[in-house]
Structure 1
Amino acid sequence: MIGKIGLIAGNGRFPIIFAQSARKKGIEVVAIGINEETSKELEKFVNKIYWLGVGELEKLLKILREENIRSVVMAGQVRHKLLFDKDIKIDQRMQFLLGNLRNKKTDSIIGAVARLLEFKGIKVLSSIIFLSDCLPKKGVLTKLLPDERVLKDIEFGRKIAKAIAGLDIGQSVVVKDKVVLAVESIEGTDEAIRRAVRYGKDGIVVIKVTKPRQDMRFDV
């Protein structure tokens, strides 16, 4: 039985939704917010919150140790491109971790952080552990059904999205009339969509897929 859980929070609403669900189950939530990413609104939904920079890995470990947290979840996007910003502080622990990676893809960085936490005796749980009611069912989720043109674009874009996901470049492509308008990379899905709108205007189709070996602990 989990009585207390650490929430390493990225951007968006996901961390808030997770915190609300966990607290409804009587679980104490200690959040670690990332200055460059996490909404201040999260403070209203957790028992306690700490703040740190995206490159302050040693501070993260210290917080978890002092709070005696044995289980954590990672919820919300963290734009790993921030680690390449010269104005972002990168501590020695993070520098060492990055320096020992074969590459600096998103999965490589987050996976290395997860392995470090596990090595320290902190279990990394699935971010959807309390959110089964929030997951969509298979099928159309909107009132508007896809027409023949959209279905053809979905089939066209899905193959491309699967290919880039397999290379860990991104998980989304945006197409229109079987023309690729944008391929997601380090900027993330939202920015890829905005870029596509500049070229395709209305009627664009966004296809997002899972990676071949997607880790549901921190990548939903």
Structure 2
Amino acid sequence: MKQPIGIIAGGGALPVQIVADLRARGEPVLVVAIRDEAAPELAATADAELGWGQIGQLFKTLKRGGCDRVLLIGAVSRRPDFASVVGDLGTMRRLPTILKALIGGDDSLLTRVIGLFEADGLRVVGVPDVAPSLLAPAGRICGREPADGALRDLRLAHKAVARLGELDIGQAAVALGGRVIALEGAEGTDAMLERCAGLRASGRVRAKGRAGVLVKAAKPGQDLRVDLPTIGPRTIDLAVAAQLAGIAIEAGRSLIAQQDETVARAEAAGLFLYGLNGGEVA
């Protein structure tokens, strides 16, 4: 009998999709929803719903369920606070390690979180290990092939993302008319795209019709088990509102959540989606 995969579920549709995909393939799962983060429909059916401070209870739940692997998936809107730490001896015992993990950027945090699980004998796996069909393919995904101006913007935004990644800042950038107009920071991709829409509406960035490209890519040397760049239906809606021409994501190292709906919305809006093969246009 297979040992279940422990799913630590944050927010968004992706954890729901992955749990459904694994169950459809007969893979046993044990779902732990992060309180106030996981989607309500997932939290309602999860094996446990725990707050950030209940680390000890989390490890007990995984061990009692027979899990030997853990998948950390979904958005987290805030860094942990430990208001619920009182009474959870497992958290208190690990607190020095946890506090060290909170120092530094996103990559250092995620690396230390992985180490926390591995120290307890749990193997952390990623989406490429358990649901590779969700990864972005290479080449044209939908829409027209990027025209010359879009290709120029695509390549420029990709260079900007690489620089951002080196500094552990973000995974996305937008270029338009041969210049970078927005970089992703702690606010995330959605807020960055909303800024782009504001720039177009105010006339600070001028272009005729749809123009500009959003690029999302993994950071150089990123651990692909956690925090893969992701787009979904809302990304498409915000890109359309920002009057962009298209979106490029890194093939094999990025995710398309709700893939059918995401591609259908892009097609309907006349937006191209493109998978960068090894960081380059195929």
TM-score range normalised by the length of the shorter chain = 0.7 to 0.9
Do the aligned partners of residues 174 and 70 (structure 1) sit closer, same or farther apart at CA in structure 2, a change above 3 Å counting? same
Cα 1:116–1:20 change in 2 (3 A) is same
CA offsets, 1:104-155, max 9 Å, x none?
3112112111111111011111223232233232101112322221111111
Structure 1 match to 2:211: 203
- Residue of structure 2 equivalent to 1:52: 50
Instruction: Provide the rounded CA distance (Å) in 2 between the counterparts of 1:12 and 1:167.
Output: 26
- Corresponding pairs, count: 214
TM-score normalised to structure 1 length: 0.85
- Which residue is 2:80 aligned to? 83
Any conservation in 2 of the 1:174–1:181 contact (CA below 8 Å)? yes
Q: Deviations over 1:157-207 (max 9, x none)?
A: 111110011111001112221333221111222221122221135533211
> What's the CA shift for 1:38?
0.9
Q: Please state how far the C-alpha of 1:219 moved relative to its aligned partner.
A: 2.6
Q: 1:97 to 1:191 in 2, by over 3 A?
A: farther
Residue in structure 2 matching 1:62, options 60, 63, 81: 60
Residue-by-residue CA offset, 1:2-32 (whole Å, 9 max, x unaligned): 4311101112221122112211222221111
> C-alpha distance in 2, partners of 1:130/1:99?
30
Tell me the CA shift for residue 98 of structure 1. Answer: 4.5
Identity %: 28
- Amino acid aligned to 2:134: C
Q: CA RMSD in A?
A: 2.4
Report what 2:118 is aligned to: 118
Contact 1:157 1:178 in 2 (8 A): no
8 Å Cα contact 2:5-2:68 kept in structure 1: yes
Name the stretch that deviates more: 13-22 or 94-103: 94-103
Aligned counterparts of 2:178 and 2:54: Cα–Cα separation in 1: 43
Structure-2-length-normalised TM-score: 0.68
Structure 2 counterpart of 1:161, which letter?
V
Is 2:146 aligned against 1:146?
A: yes
Give runs of ≥4 in structure 1 deviating > 6 Å. none
Q: Which amino acid aligns with 2:42?
A: L
Q: Secondary structure at the match of 1:83?
A: coil
Q: Which moved more, 1:55-64 or 1:204-213?
A: 55-64
Q: Which residue of 2 aligns with 1:214?
A: 222
> Offset at 1:65?
2.7
Aligned to 1:163: 163
Which structure: larger Rg?
A: 2
Structure 1 residue 43: Cα displacement: 4.9
